[in-house]
Amino acid sequence: MTEIGASPMTDRSLPKMLTQASGMERMFPTLTPAQIERIAVHGRVRPIRAGEVLIEAGEQVVPFFVVTRGQVEIVRPSGTTETLVAVHGPGQFTGEINMLSGRPALLRARASEAGEVIELDHEHFLALVQTDSQLSELIMRAFILRRVELIAHGLGDVVLVGSNHCSGTLRVKEFLTRNGHPYSYIDLDRDADVQVLLDRFHVTAADVPVVICRGEVVLRNPTNQQIADCLGFNDAIDQTQIRDVVIVGAGPAGLAAAVYAASEGLDVLVLETNSPGGQAGSSSKIENYLGFPTGISGQALAGRAYTQAQKFGAQVVIAKGAKQLDCDRKPYAIEIDDSVRVPARTIIIATGAAYRKPSVENLSHFEGAGVYYGATFMEAQLCRGEEVVVVGGGNSAGQAAVFLAQTTKRVHMLVRSSGLAESMSRYLIRRIEQNPAIVLRTNTEIVALEGSEHLESVSWRAAQTGSTETHDIRHIFLMTGAVPSTQWLDGCVALDAKGFIKTGPDLSHDDLVVAHWPLARAPHLLETSLPGVFAVGDVRGGNIKRVASAVGEGSIAISFVHKALHE
């Protein structure tokens, strides 16, 4: 523990941001004496002195503290000043989501009055939340609500400097948002004082987006992996440890597999190229997932699942994907982006699918600068009050159109075929037909995009008349389906004609002969042509393209992983 002599200047004139939020008792619950006793069994009681720093911002793997006497304040340090965020009195506890993942602390915790705390180290804290379901629920809820408030107020350890007209800025925003990481944003186009900040870090406007990590490290147009490394998202991967199961992909299928595997005592590593949540993470509202009658955003669902997997002890590695599968020997090995190899007894492939792109010249130029593949709250803010285009006739296009129609002037829904997809849910078709802000244009396709830095106009052609129209529209949403992410498997498992992975009963006798299937038994349900390697969710041939089915498959696969491990 460190102690600071002269306390930095703490800005107490600002409101205590967190304490103003609704649901205060849930965010900062006061534990009962019986609950405190149950926690004390896992930790040690110790005195605290006024001014003593219990947790320093940036410190990795921090302890959990319950205040039993005195007071602990939570502040955000920034140079020589501090912003007061919250005050914990007797019966209250420190921490937020980072406590679970072991990522560096975002804020400083300091005793503002002498007293006493119960201290639990990371391991004992995990044991507590895994074994005491009542306390686990109370603590998890508080941690999640605290994180939501930190995000809402941009109270974190990252400053992003960029422009809304720059695709790199949107990528970084999306990466931080989808990883649930709070950040402050400075818009170069709107904030005149920004030059002072740039000068301080010797950054020119050409370097944007710029990410300032913990007030120290300045990253110029960084990759997602560089951001993840700088913010300490990932623990080092132990390459000598042979994992019971390596799960590739942290969409709904991979996260479900991680939750079940870790909760059943398996040693689990999850690899994710981008951010947890997969396609579902880009959905503004999922209304058909069991248990959420008023719907849930894909981001919220993914955030909860990610936290749940970590609570049970799964190691989840962000912005580091599988590059290659070494399937010629056992244990199998997965090569990761930076040439790290992880050995695995079994593997679950949950790499899902990537968006299909229409062949329009300069499409990639406008990606993130007017062309989007998901319609969430973030994109909706960018095109508020404007006309937009949604391309596609399936469920995700329908959802996007209905969602965007709430905040935009008009939604042009372009469908290449003669109508909405047969697979589209009835409730969506009705909402589209009844919404005067949505103009459905069938037999129509995008033919050109124009603009300089940002998309400025869109042209589409109606197949029946052959006529082309051009409109001053700055935002289009491509919701045109997806192709499976199987390139990295390089012939290791049998694929169907469209490149999806064949599993279980879909594998023919010939498939197994070609794959040299070595066992007397047939492949299990969800098992690929490689024993002990399973495929779940949208990457699997015959998948249902639903969050619930991906989650179901992820969980089912674990029962077969146990069997394969005992073989």
Given the complex with ligand FAD, which of 83 and 399 has the nearer CB atom?
Answer: 399
Give min distance, CB of 336 to ligand FAD, in A.
8
Give min distance, CB of 445 to ligand FAD, in A.
20
Given the complex with ligand FAD, which of 38 and 431 has the nearer CB atom?
Answer: 431
Q: What is the residue-wise DSSP string for 212-249? A: EETTTEEEES--HHHHHHHTT--PPP-TT--EEEEEE-
Give min distance, CB of 317 to ligand FAD, in A.
9
Between CA 166 and CA 186 the distance in angstroms is 13
Contact 244, 261 (CB under 8 A): yes
Given the complex with ligand FAD, which of 321 and 370 has the nearer CB atom?
Answer: 321
Peptide bond into 276 cis (omega under 30): no
Give min distance, CB of 277 to ligand FAD, in A.
6
Given the complex with ligand FAD, which of 180 and 537 has the nearer CB atom?
Answer: 537
* Residue 256: its H or E element: helix 252-263
Binding site for ligand FAD (CB under 6 A): 248-254, 271-274, 278-280, 282-283, 286, 288, 321-322, 350-353, 374, 396, 399, 485, 488, 537-538, 545-548, 550
Between CA 466 and CA 461 the distance in angstroms is 6
Given the complex with ligand FAD, which of 283 and 346 has the nearer CB atom?
Answer: 283
Largest pairwise CA distance in the chain: 81
Contact 53, 108 (CB under 8 A): yes
Given the complex with ligand FAD, which of 92 and 399 has the nearer CB atom?
Answer: 399
Contact 214, 232 (CB under 8 A): no
How many CA atoms lie within 13 Å of 260's alpha carbon, on the beta-carbon side?
Answer: 19
Give min distance, CB of 272 to ligand FAD, in A.
5
Give min distance, CB of 269 to ligand FAD, in A.
11
Structural tokens at position 208: 């944007």
Between the CA of residue 113 and those of 29, 50, 71, 335, 339, what are the distances in Å? 20, 5, 5, 51, 50
* Residue 310: its H or E element: helix 298-311
Given the complex with ligand FAD, which of 313 and 321 has the nearer CB atom?
Answer: 321
Cα of 83 vs its chain's centroid, Å: 27
Give min distance, CB of 233 to ligand FAD, in A.
14
Give min distance, CB of 370 to ligand FAD, in A.
18
Residue 80 class from Cβ within 10 Å (0-12 exposed, 13-18 middle, 19+ buried)? exposed
Give min distance, CB of 221 to ligand FAD, in A.
21
Residue 263 class from Cβ within 10 Å (0-12 exposed, 13-18 middle, 19+ buried)? middle
Give min distance, CB of 441 to ligand FAD, in A.
20
Given the complex with ligand FAD, which of 104 and 254 has the nearer CB atom?
Answer: 254
Given the complex with ligand FAD, which of 71 and 308 has the nearer CB atom?
Answer: 308
Between the CA of residue 95 and those of 25, 126, 213, 448, what are the distances in Å? 15, 13, 20, 51
Give min distance, CB of 285 to ligand FAD, in A.
7
Strand partners, 213: 158, 217
Given the complex with ligand FAD, which of 183 and 372 has the nearer CB atom?
Answer: 372
CB 293: neighbour CB atoms within 10 A? Answer: 7
Q: Please identify which residue in the block is written with the tokens 């008349």.
A: 465
Given the complex with ligand FAD, which of 85 and 350 has the nearer CB atom?
Answer: 350
Q: Is the dihedral of CA 522, 527, 529, 532 positive or negative?
A: negative
Q: What is the residue-wise DSSP string for 54-72? A: EE-TT-SS--EEEEEEEEE
